[in-house]
Amino acid sequence: MAAKKLRRAQLSQEMCERLSRYQITTCQDFLCLSLLELMKVTGQSYYEVQKLLCKVSRACAPKMQTAYEMKLRKSVSPSSAFLSTTLHSLDRVLHGGVPCGSLTEITSPPGCGKTQFCIMLSVLATLPVSMGGLDGAVIYIDTESAFSAERLIEIAASRFPTYFDSNEKLLCMTRSIHLYRELTCCCVLKRIMSLEEEIISKKVKLVIIDSVASVVRKEFDTKLQGNLAERSNFLTRGASVLKYLAEEFSIPV
């Protein structure tokens, strides 16, 4: 939205050309300038510039929805609001399970079972909706190389023996779990940025990142000057992209 070109914001052609001479090509550049600067750059009067501002703002402002519309939309498809973890007390506390459309964070000291939980969630997501799953693929971004495919098959076979009764079904399930091994921060960020297309093409219904902290702590030493800002920069950028993906596709992350 921010990188929307001014051309598509319905500004006139000559205005766009004039602005591009000052290197103002996107809505973001336009809205960052103050009124006086805009007057100088566009050569228009104060009132004209205000009208232009309104036009550009309308081009990139978000759409309005009332809370009632949101509630109606949610009540239309209630079952797809959560991914049940099949641990009844956990589901009760979470009001249904891992929520779709938002980020969920799992933290614990080492050895408590986070990776096991993630592997189990991957199995659950591939199950059909009738069994409480999401009937879709899973993207698993592994930074610690802790994912074990054999453990995956073990969990699937012993948890749902009636469903995974044949080797074919097991193989089919494993084929829909896409594993990416990323070992540095910028690789992780690049992978997150490229996720949008993968989600659409592979019909992904769950994204797991295991784990964010390990790769960040490896690379950023907080005692060094400036690293704190860079680290929070990286984290917030990744977080906002993941939030956008979760909301846009209504999948749990």
Does residue 63 touch another protein according to CB under 8 A? Answer: yes
Q: Taking CB under 8 A as the rule, does residue 28 contact another protein?
A: yes
Tell me if 193 contacts another protein by CB under 8 A. Answer: no
Single out the residue of 10, 12, 17, 31 in contact with another protein (rule: CB under 8 A): 31
User: Binder to another protein among 10, 17, 43, 171 (CB under 8 A)?
Assistant: 43
Q: Quick one: CA torsion of 164, 170, 173, 177, rounded to 10 degrees?
A: 130
Inter-residue contact 97 to 248 (CB < 8 Å): no
Which H or E run contains 245? helix 227-249
Interface segment toward another protein; rule CB under 8 A; list 15-23, 47-55, 125-133, 173-181: 47-55
Q: Does 39 bind another protein (CB under 8 A)?
A: yes
Q: Coil, strand or helix: which one is 26?
A: strand
Cβ proximity to another protein: between 103 and 155 the closer is 103
Strand duo 98-99 + 82-83: pairing: antiparallel
Q: Does 7 bind another protein (CB under 8 A)?
A: no
Query: Does 224 contact another protein by CB under 8 A?
Result: no
By CB under 8 A, name the one of 102, 174, 176, 214 that touches another protein: 102
213 binds another protein (CB under 8 A): no
* Helix, coil or strand: residue 12: coil
- State which of residues 12, 148, 227, 232 lies at the interface with another protein (CB under 8 A): 232
**Of 70 and 171, CB closest to another protein:** 70
Q: Is 234 helix (H, G, I), strand (E, B) or coil?
A: helix
Q: Verify binding: residue 58, another protein, rule CB under 8 A.
A: yes
Q: Is 47 in the site for another protein (CB under 8 A)?
A: yes
Looking up tokens 């081009």, which residue turns up?
A: 59
Instruction: Find the binder of another protein among 34, 79, 108, 166 (CB under 8 A).
Output: 34
Smallest distance from the beta carbon of 62 to another protein, in angstroms?
5
Q: In this structure, what are the phi and psi dihedrals at residue 171, rounded to the nearest 5 degrees?
A: -65, -40
CB 132 within 8 A of CB 159: no
Give me the DSSP letters along 149-216.
HHHHHHHHHHHSTTTS-SHHHHHHHHHTEEEEE--SHHHHHHHHHTHHHHHHHHTEEEEEEE-HHHHH
Query: What is the binding site for another protein (CB under 8 A)?
Result: 1-2, 27-28, 31-32, 34, 39-40, 43-48, 53-54, 56-71, 74, 95, 102, 232-233, 236-237, 240, 243-244, 246-247
